[in-house]
Every structure is written in structure tokens, then in C-alpha cells.
Amino acid sequence: MAEYLSPGVYVEEFESGAKPLEGVSTSTAGFIGLAARGPVEGLPQLITSPADFGRVYGSYLSENAFGSYRFLAYAVNQFFTNGGSRCFITRVAPSDAKTASNETQKDSVLSIAAKNPGAWGNQIRVVIVPASKAKTPIFEASEGNRYRVKNAAGFYAGDVVVFANGTEKQYNRIVSVHDQVIELAEELKGDVVDTALVPTKVLSTSEFTVNVLYGTESETYEKASLNPEAPNYVEKLISRSNIATVQVLKASDANVAPLEQIAGADAAVFEILLSGGSDGTAASLSAADFIGEDFGPGKRTGIQSFIDNDVVSIMAIPGVTDPNVQLSLVAHCEILGSRFAILDLPREATKVQDVLAHRDLFDSSYCALYNPWLQVFDPLDKRNIFVPPSGTIAGVYSRSDTTRGVQKAPANETLRGVVGLDVQYNNGEQDILNPAGVNLIRAFTGQGIRVWGARTCSSNTLWKYINVRRLFIFIEGSIKNGSSWVVFEPNTEQLWARVQRTIEAFLTRVWRDGALSGTNPSEAFYVEIGRSTMTQDDIDNGRLICVIGVAPVKPAEFVVFRITQKTGSE
């Protein structure tokens, strides 16, 4: 209760009505796979276009080097071609992949390495040139190597400085800086005082500028220092680089210019080339690389890295059909309950019995299988190749969600950028595969290539259709995200009424969008909360229980027109 101490009129605001619930996104995809470059641990990276993918993860991988593991770039390109707008990527690298560095250079002051493993790092050049961040004339020389200067801004204890008197240079090191007095490690020789309007004797800091170059990318870090106490310490500056990392190995305490320490001699420009980077080999890859390791927040790899991401709702590992990896991906989706897995079949599994043998490994409503592989153009080899369908299907999911809504089954949709199929299945073969939960992609005369299936891999007929499971993911995620305000509120009838109004308003909007069946809201859903759903023990233990029932729409999978002959007497 507010305190009222002095007489007057008080105006207060309070909330009593329902709080609007905002629907969560269902069109954001998550991909895992091999790439030419990019981080291999930590949070998945947001990608919003194929060009964005190229900047972060590089170009296409060679078929000779990586075979069926190379399809991440193709899948991402197909995702955007087919209507996707954003995805998150986690890179997997072979265990024998190596990071390019300058380790071959002996007695190096700086240890420079590519940001992440791969042969791409062998193209990195680091160019270092001298620089200075501050300079000032000396007004007075005092005892104890102390010098009063015009402006001490930019000078820090530990900095290497150079006193220039015409062509003569004296290098020194700062011991301390107080007000406008700088104490040096050694006494400067000669007459150092210069009070002229345009001074010719100047005390300057000695730093260097680092240019990191890779292809068309370039990063410049100006006025870097080898002084750990300075805010422009080189390790601090380059820590934000997307190309390279830098570590100072052995900075000298001698009064020597930093660039001379790095280059080993007095030089105007010093260039460092990195080497030793390797993409690794496909033979060293295993299921463990894709499943990933949980080394804690910010250090997770593979599938585990998506634990920290709560935006993704569609998951795929393009071209990787190892049952251990696919089952781990499905388990990940089931545990989180907020995402759906799109699975590929091995390309060689074209016969019905082979397809069914792989299909029988799964029984989950959180995944769907698609076959066959798709023929698309390969920009790398300038020819048509076959790629797994998961990236294309993820784009179809995203497009269908955006244009129609998550309640629409992502089927009977044309595939963009696909010129052919690896296998042409007929009706008889689909009669066997469709009831088993294998979604075929088929070509129809005059109708292009279309997704011709909308079933999950679940044996539970309640969750037979993809759109039903994904609709529940949408509803559950929206209610969870929009109801956090309820936590720690007084568990009373007033709260129950507000919660019920909030959820009913949200579900009414979902029904009006066509996601729920029924001619009115009472037929489409119900929301129960109160003494009918909670006991006194629940209330005493801090539990608020709300029971929600919804009637999802089901796709018209079998359209039957019954035709009879009408006679003239009828």
C-alpha cells in the first residue's frame, strides 16, 4: 500500500485487465554443418541472406574433400531461395582441422592466429606500421627524470616514448604520470625544453597501427600498444576482430620502439603472413562432432550450442544421415519442446524397403522425413548436383508460415531453384511410404516439383500431421513467453480471472486466423482455471494450474469427389 501522509489528491495507475499475448516466430531455422570458416563453439550466428553467410562462413566446400558433409552452404542458399528470412548457423569442423598462425616465425613478439580453424586463414596478412597517439613539448626539466609538459593526455605509465630533436631521436619509457608531470626511466640528453609557439622538440608516444587483411575484408586497429596498462593494449584492441586473434608473447622492457621489437629491426612497414591452416578431412569426422559437447555457456558445440538459443523453431543438419546424429537432433527438439526437426534420408536409400528401414529408427512427432534428394545448380563447379532436401523444405516451412500461418500444412508447395529429382516415385510407392510417415517430393506435369506429404514420424495418430505439432509449438511458446508476468503474483481469484482473460483473448485471435476448428470460440478451445484445476495443496506449494484445450485444424490430405450418374427421371 502507498503511504498517504499529507492531505491532497493522489492519482495512481493499476493493471486489472488481460495482458496481450504476442505470437512467437515459427519461421526461424537452425542449421548445423561444415563450413569453410566461422566459429566452431559458442552461440549460433544469425544469418539473414546468402551473402551474409558468405561473409561469416565462407563459400562452398569441395565435393572431393568432404563428400556428403559439404551441403550446409547449399542448404542455406536453398532456404533463402524458398522463402526463408533468417536462420542461425553452428559450424562443425573436423578434429584434424588446424588454425593458421605465425608460429613458424621464431622469436616473435606477437602470436597471431586466425579466428577459427581452416585453410582460409592461410590468406590472412597482417601489416604493421608505426603510429603515435599523443605528443607534447616539454616546458621544464626537473630532478629525478621528471618533465613538466604542455599536455600529458594520452601518456600512460609503461608507454614507450620518443623524444625528437630534429633528426635525433631518444627512446625512453614512462614510469609515472601525474598532472602535467611525466617521470621517465632515464634522463633525456641535451636541452629538451621548448617553449616556442611552434615547438621543434617534441615528446611522443610510440605505438603501431595493425591492418588485418583477408580477401576483400580489412580491419584497422590504430595506435596499438605493447603496454598492458594502456587502454590501447594490442590484445584488447584486436579482441573484437572477426579475422584474427593476437597474443603478446614477450614484450621487452627495453627502451625500444614497439615496431622495432616486433619486426626485429627498425622498419617503416612490417608484414606477417599466416600459414599452417587446414580444413581437415572428412575421414576424421564422427557423429560426436555434430552432436557436440557441453562445455558450459558460450562454449557449447554442435547440437548442444542451440540450447542457448530460444528463437529457432526449425532444425536441420543437411546431408548428415547418421542415425546417431539424427536421433540426437530429434531428442534435442523433444526435450526443448519448441522446435521441429527436418531429417534427410541417405541418398542411396531410394528403394522403398531401404527408405522404410531408415524410417523405422524414429517415432516422434517432433520430426519429419523427406525424400528424394533435389537437383540444383552448383555455383562452385558450374553444373547441376543433387543436394539433400532439408534446407529447401525449411525454406518452404518459413514461406508457408509467413504467407498462410503455422496452421497450414507445409505441403503442396512448389520448390524454387530445384530443376529435378534424384528419384521419381509413383503413386504405388507413395501408397506405402506416406502411411509410414515418409514425405515424398514429386514432379507433376504442368505443376512443377512439389512437396507431397505432411506427416510426422510419430506412431501416435493424434500427432500425425506436421502442422498440428507445429501449431502446438506456436501456442505453447506464445503462452510461455507472454505469461512471465504471472510468476510471484498473489495466487488468488483475481489473478486467475486475469490469466483466463489473457489466454482466451489470444486463442480467440488464433481461431479467427483459421488455426482452430469450430464455428465459434467455444467450439475451438476452452480455458479452465481455479478450484476445478487446483487443490489447496497446489496453492500452498505455489502452483497455478491452467488447463487449456484446443481443436487444431487438420489438412485435407485425401480429397474425395463421389460422382454418380444422374438420370432424367431423378
CB atoms within 10 A of CB 456: 26
Rounded to the nearest 5 percent, the helix, strand and coil shares of the chain are 25, 25, 45
> Strand pairing partners for 244?
114
Say how far apart CA 37 and CA 61 lie, in whole Å.
10
Q: How many CB atoms lie within 10 A of CB 354?
A: 13
Please list the rounded mean pLDDT of every run of 10 residues in the chain (570 residues): 85 81 93 95 95 93 89 96 96 94 83 93 94 90 88 90 85 90 89 85 91 93 89 91 90 80 82 92 93 90 94 96 96 96 95 96 96 94 94 97 95 96 95 96 94 96 96 96 93 94 95 95 95 94 96 94 82
Cell of 547: 488447463
With beta carbons less than 8 A apart as the criterion, state whether 315 and 332 touch.
Answer: yes
Helices (H) then strands (E): counts for the chain: 14, 26
pLDDT of residue 227: 87
Distance CA 60, CA 298 (A): 27
- The amino acid present at 563, given as its one-letter code, is I
Question: What residue type is 231 in one-letter code?
Answer: P
Per-residue confidence (pLDDT) for residue 103, from 0 to 100: 85
- Give residue 1's pLDDT: 62
Q: Domain map of the chain by residue range?
A: 29-94+282-467, 110-130+208-273, 133-205, 492-570
Question: pLDDT tens digit string along 44-86?
Answer: 999 999 999 999 999 999 888 898 899 999 999 999 999 999 9
How are beta strands 438-444 and 420-421 bridged, if at all? Answer: unpaired
Q: What is the dihedral of CA 105, 111, 112, 115, to 10 degrees?
A: 130
Gap between the Cα atoms of 49 and 418, Å rounded: 19
SS3 call for 402: helix
Task: Give the sign of the dihedral formed by CA 377, CA 378, CA 383, CA 387.
Answer: negative
Topology at the third CATH level for domain 133-205: Elongation Factor Tu (Ef-tu); domain 3 (2.40.30)
DSSP assigned state of 82: T
User: β-strand 340-344 against 367-371: which pairing, if any?
Assistant: parallel
Give the pLDDT confidence score for residue 307 in this predicted structure. 94
Closest CA to 359 of 411, 427, 423, 437: 437
Alpha helices (runs of H) in 483-565, residue ranges in sequence order: 493-512, 521-524, 536-540
**Predicted pLDDT at 570:** 59
Res 104: pLDDT: 79
Residues 6+ apart with CB under 8 A from 458: 363, 364, 365, 437, 464, 469
- In sequence order, the 6+-apart residues with CB closer than 8 A to the CB of 558 are none
What distance in Å separates the CA atoms of residue 171 and residue 257, rounded to the nearest whole number?
7
Q: Which residue matches cell numbers 545448380?
A: 377
Secondary structure of 199-260 as H, E, C letters:
CCEEEEECEEEEEEEECCEEEEEEEEECCCCCCCEHHHHHCCCCCEEEEECCCCCCCCCHHH
Q: What is the pLDDT of residue 257?
A: 86
Q: Could you read off the pLDDT of 198-249 as tens digits, one per residue? A: 888 899 999 999 999 998 899 999 999 988 888 889 999 999 999 999 999 8
CATH 3.40.50.11780, applies to 29-94+282-467 = yes
Residue for grid cell 495482458: 19
Residues 6+ apart with CB under 8 A from 283: none
pTM: 0.89
Q: What are phi and psi of 136, to 5 degrees?
A: -160, 150
